[in-house]
Amino acid sequence: MEGSGYRVVFEKGGVYLHTSARKHQDPDSLIAGIIRVVEKDNDVLLYWAPVEEAGDATQILFSKKDASGGDPCTSEEEPTFDPGYEPDWAVISTVRPRLHHSEPARGAEPSSPRGQWAFSVSLGELKSIRRSKPGLSWAYLVLVTQAGGSLPALHFHRGGTRALLRVLSRYLLLASSPQDSRLYLVFPHDSSALSNSFHHLQLFDQDSSNVVSRFLQDPYSTTFSSFSRVTNFFRGALQPHPEGTPSPDLRPPPDDEPGFEVISCVELGPRPIVERAPPVTEEEWAQHVGPEGRLQQVPELKNRIFSGGLSPGLRHEAWKFLLGYLSWEGSTEEHKAHVRKKTDEYFRMKLQWKSVSPEQERRNSLLHGYRSLIERDVSRTDRTNKFYEGPENPGLGLLNDILLTYCMFHFDLGYVQGMSDLLSPILYVVQNEVDAFWCFCGFMELVHGNFEESQETMKRQLGQLLLLLKVLDQPLCDFLDSQDSGSLCFCFRWLLIWFKREFPFPDILRLWEVLWTGLPGPNLHLLVACAILDMERDTLMLSGFGSNEILKHINELTMKLSVEDVLTRAEALYRQLTACSELPHNVQEVLGLAPPAEPHSPSPVVSPLPLSPTRASPAPPPAADMVPQPDSSLEILPEEEDVADS
């Protein structure tokens, strides 16, 4: 939108002022309005006006207009509000900012009771921006000026805080306060002003002018000892060269400080075209078998499995290698000795629970609970598959025995709903109780964290998925966020049991053997999730789905996806990301391109908001969504609508 001498670069409706601190606002205490960012006369203004007053408000200066139309600087005290349900800045600020005299704004008559709240401020006058804490019905922002006053809190009932902050980052540098992760310190891009800001905040021990010079040349290493987080937009926030070309030295630094993270807005190149290869045949596998039965050229063989999968007749043998039951380097005789040893070990563990009498089990509530849960889940696992169909099917007995024996193998974890889904395809392919057990143990080594009670692994993976998706498709993330689906909880089942319920049974065999290669990186399953969302983005965004409709649509994808199409797209996404020279370090960690910053501690949930310089975890998904319930259907429930745009 452009007018005489000004251009609107951002506009968002549904932005309210709350003039009462009561938790349940009455209609008269809510003032609906529009927030805009406007470029005008070599300046950038942020202004808000009520909807009935939101005409040409570009002339509104930073002031709360007196209802009588006189000088806004009156001696009348602002009303004092009880902070009530949200103590920090949830209602109209009672701190009166420094006011400016100006001509009345067009479109906001001084006599209008709501027009008096309209305000406008130059971005250069901002000192800090405070975000609301998570868990509220909607998010709000409070803008504090250089003079120490604060503008009225802006409540975004329809979302939009992140979009506004992204627009502001084009003109300002936003950095998280070391003392308060919800407070962004505002710095101009101007070098002298930035130096002055550093001086007053005493962020550096060195001379401020020298610091600013180094900061603009290498913003990463310069801030290691000062800011706990830095937000850097490569093509807006910091321009190290006049021509705007990023310095070749702008690479993620060594992880001298484990908590440091750089989150960047990057531009990806074109997505490459990927073609899948045919499956590895038994003849091709035989060509890799050398003297004494040792496999040769294993990396090349793994790469072929990644590119094309395995032919059905080969899986019975190859899966034992992929799941770590047999060593890629072992000879035929070594494998036979290993199998004999593991067979004895398996039956010793099986005997432990088989020898428990009914009377003993009555006094062992843990074992009794495992047995009951396993029997119930097994009776509903893949019953449409001929291998498991029928009331007296021996395959069901093998599933039951293997899962109970796993409880003896892994006492701490035991059995958790969903494990039967992981075992079923393995037993179907291997068709041997002992081999299936040890292959299942190998699979559980990869995913056991998914079933831990703390759910930290699942939370971390959802955060990593969101991080990848934000780099790949920010508009889709914004849409999901606006529909209260930004936490991606509808992907929980995908990650928990590796898409077992999403693809037809034969496709799952192909998908898993590709994922087990560990190629091209450790988290290909996250890119598979990104690929599915990428395939469905137009349907989601153009259909006007709300959060419930999004969950319903995702659930209805079950058995309708093509594994080859998904794998092709996932590999293309990986190549597109790795071809980017400005890929943020935390994204490189997820893709296995860089060592993790904190290898000895579990990674926190990444909240990859490009503007957020922190790694603060978002509010965890509702317990009903995150904790597997004792129901093998694993239905995904709608999110509780408790956070609109935190």
Return the pLDDT at 4. 63
Residues 547 and 581 occupy one common structural domain = yes
Instruction: Encode pLDDT of 142-168 as tens digits.
Output: 888 888 777 888 889 888 888 898 889
Instruction: Encode pLDDT of 252-299 as tens digits.
Output: 333 333 333 334 457 899 999 999 999 999 999 999 999 999 999 999
**Phi, psi angle pair for 512, to nearest 5°:** -65, -40
pLDDT band at 169 (very low <50, low <70, confident <90, very high): confident
Residue 205 has pLDDT above 60, yes or no: no
pLDDT band at 57 (very low <50, low <70, confident <90, very high): very low
More confident residue, 133 or 130: 130
Residue 641 has pLDDT above 60, yes or no: no
Distance of CA 252 to the CA centre of its chain: 20
pLDDT band at 21 (very low <50, low <70, confident <90, very high): low
Q: Are 31 and 52 in contact (CB under 8 A)?
A: no
Over residues 10-21, mean pLDDT: 82
Q: Are 568 and 514 in contact (CB under 8 A)?
A: no
| Residue 240 located in a structural domain | no
Task: Give the number of other CB atoms < 10 A from CB of residue 297.
Answer: 12
Residues 556 and 575 occupy one common structural domain = yes
Q: Which of 173, 189, 205 is the last residue of a domain?
A: 189
> Which tokens sit at 595?
């060592």
CATH number, domain with residue 134:
2.30.29.230
Residues 475 and 487 occupy one common structural domain = yes
| Residue 82 located in a structural domain | no
Over residues 552-568, mean pLDDT: 96
Q: Which of 189, 211, 237 is the last residue of a domain?
A: 189
For Cα atoms 566, 569, 571, give the angle at the middle one, nearest 5 degrees: 110
Residues 535 and 525 occupy one common structural domain = yes
pLDDT band at 67 (very low <50, low <70, confident <90, very high): very low
What is the DSSP-derived secondary structure letter of residue 295? B
Q: How far apart are CA 299 and CA 519, in angstroms?
A: 10
pLDDT band at 108 (very low <50, low <70, confident <90, very high): very low
Cut 0.85: pTM above it: no
pLDDT band at 318 (very low <50, low <70, confident <90, very high): very high
Instruction: With CA atoms as reference, report the closest residue to 606 among 477, 452, 487.
Output: 487
What range does the domain containing 44 cover?
1-52+117-189
Instruction: Encode pLDDT of 354-387 as tens digits.
Output: 999 999 999 999 999 999 999 999 999 999 999 9
Residues 12 and 144 occupy one common structural domain = yes
Instruction: Encode pLDDT of 434-488 as tens digits.
Output: 999 999 999 999 999 999 999 999 999 999 999 999 999 999 998 998 888 999 9
Residues 416 and 380 occupy one common structural domain = yes
DSSP letters, 253-281, are: PP-SSTT--EEEE----PPPP--PPPPBP
Residue 99 has pLDDT above 90, yes or no: no
Return the pLDDT at 177. 76
Residue type, 534: D
Residue 543 has pLDDT above 50, yes or no: yes
| Residue 580 located in a structural domain | yes
Over residues 74-92, mean pLDDT: 34
pLDDT band at 187 (very low <50, low <70, confident <90, very high): confident
Instruction: Encode pLDDT of 587-615 as tens digits.
Output: 999 999 999 865 443 433 333 333 333 33
Over residues 563-587, mean pLDDT: 96
Residues 351 and 414 occupy one common structural domain = yes
Return the pLDDT at 636. 35
Residues 368 and 461 occupy one common structural domain = no
Residues 288 and 330 occupy one common structural domain = yes
| Residue 78 located in a structural domain | no
| Residue 123 located in a structural domain | yes
More confident residue, 207 or 75: 207
> Which tokens sit at 118?
């309209």
Residue 240 has pLDDT above 80, yes or no: no
Residue 499 has pLDDT above 90, yes or no: yes
Residues 523 and 574 occupy one common structural domain = yes
| Residue 298 located in a structural domain | yes
**Phi, psi angle pair for 518, to nearest 5°:** 75, 10
Residues 447 and 526 occupy one common structural domain = no
Return the pLDDT at 24. 54
Domain count, the chain: 3
Share of the chain above pLDDT 90, in %: 50
Distance of CA 457 to the CA centre of its chain: 13
Residues 445 and 459 occupy one common structural domain = no
Q: Which of 453, 471, 494 is the last residue of a domain?
A: 453
